[in-house]
Structure 1
């Protein structure tokens, strides 16, 4: 299916690895010009090269380093696609996860840091991008959050609580910014991201798993599809939600979890 994204312009935050990078790769493979973002310049450069290799012949891929907790960095980041490509059509909001801790061990400082990273980064980026997205004929926002907004995950109090605010923001702007801009969200379950790879490899080193493959199988326990997700499966959904093919979807939050969720809604 042609997602009709050729010559569109997309900005993907926190996209030097994992699900953000997969989203950038999916968009570029459909012909969109993509700006990737990350804090580590070397990792970002590597991601740009990888996404370029998968991009359509007509697509351009560039990187822009910046910290999503720094308002000045966000302002510069949003202006980069406008300067390079003449506008901005699609904003994909990704951010690193807060630390995993139980409630009683989580400090006030960690609560504020998580809110700044997950919520205020989205608020500031949307605020800066809104004029450009409104000017576009294709304006979309896709939030990459977590399955934890549907069902709390043990030991992840910060993600469970704070990411709910991102969904509240997404639902609100899906109404306030419509019809010029559509806003949706994806709620990833377990995917084979660098973080999962690291955890499985650590388990192999501790002799918890016989091999990397057997470790992945254990991580897939309880997932009806029978395996962990490929990041590109989420990336392709992000590209779909950014495309004209999905123009009647607005304000939705789609779990991408292999069927592991138990929530009815």
Structure 2
């Protein structure tokens, strides 16, 4: 299916690895021009090279820290300079530290809010005027299934990410019809973070090898496995496309049926 994204312009934050990179890859594969973002310059350069190889559009890397307001302003400015505007915005950010409530400090809470919420707020604030000028402006927020069901030892993610869903739903009403806003709620996917955790478990003797560890992580999921990051990326590309033009204000779980929530 042609999603109608050829020659459009996309900005994907926190996209030098993981689900952000998968989202950027899916958009590039559909012919979009894409700006990638990350803090690590070397990793970002590698990601740009990999994403650039999958499509016909232009791929540019802009280094920056999403907790820094000036970096976000520069990121949006560079995207507009490179491509003349923005049609698609995808916000992603790394997860906050794990841990129970009683071991979580005030500083942890403020840092998580800055990383997960204010990064999205500031990026939207800068990008919205440009998205309004597009004839197919979209915003997709990559959050977590933890906004529907609390996950043990992830009090920061369980609590703070819900603010992003409130933002997404509000924007779907305030900025429509010029801009559509949706969110994706990923469950476990085979990202570098999962790979690292499984490899550590193998070293501790919990599994005989990596394959056994990955299989064990998918054992409680109805589809019988964890996700491929590109499956999340493909969903983001669809929500960013004219093919999803009547989908607005939706929070879409992408977790293989692992969730127990009815809604």
Please give the TM-score of this superposition, normalised by the length of structure 2.
Answer: 0.99
Work out the CA distance in 2 between the residues paired with 1:245 and 1:87. Answer: 21
Q: Give yes or no for the alignment of 1:41 onto 2:41.
A: yes
Per-residue deviation, 1:41: 0.2
Of 73, 89, 92 in structure 2, the residue corresponding to residue 91 of structure 1 is 89
Work out the CA distance in 2 between the residues paired with 1:52 and 1:68. Answer: 23
Work out the CA distance in 2 between the residues paired with 1:206 and 1:49. Answer: 35
Q: Give yes or no for the alignment of 1:213 onto 2:211.
A: yes
Cross-structure match for 1:236 = 234
Cross-structure match for 2:201 = 203
Q: What is the RMSD of the two structures over their aligned residues, measured on CA atoms?
A: 0.4
Equivalent residue of 1:187, what SS?
strand
Work out the CA distance in 1 between the residues paired with 2:111 and 2:30. Answer: 35
Equivalent residue of 1:160, what SS?
helix
Equivalent residue of 2:74, what SS?
helix
Cross-structure match for 2:149 = 151
Q: Spell out the pairing of 1:110-129 with structure 2 (5 A cutoff).
A: 110-129=108-127
Of 73, 76, 81 in structure 2, the residue corresponding to residue 75 of structure 1 is 73
Work out the CA distance in 1 between the residues paired with 2:85 and 2:204. Answer: 50
Structure 1 ranges of 4+ moved more than 2 A: none
Work out the CA distance in 1 between the residues paired with 2:208 and 2:22. Answer: 28
Cross-structure match for 1:162 = 160
Equivalent residue of 2:89, what SS?
strand
Equivalent residue of 1:35, what SS?
strand
Cross-structure match for 1:141 = 139
* CA deviation vs aligned residue, 1:91-132 (integer Å, no higher than 9, x gap): 000000000010000000000000000000000000000100
Per-residue deviation, 1:221: 1.6
Cross-structure match for 2:178 = 180
Per-residue deviation, 1:187: 0.1
Cross-structure match for 1:227 = 225
Q: How many residues align?
A: 263
Structure 2: runs of 5+ lacking an equivalent: none
Structure 1: runs of 5+ lacking an equivalent: none
Cross-structure match for 1:63 = 61
Q: Give yes or no for the alignment of 1:6 onto 2:9.
A: no
* CA deviation vs aligned residue, 1:178-207 (integer Å, no higher than 9, x gap): 000000000000000000000000011111
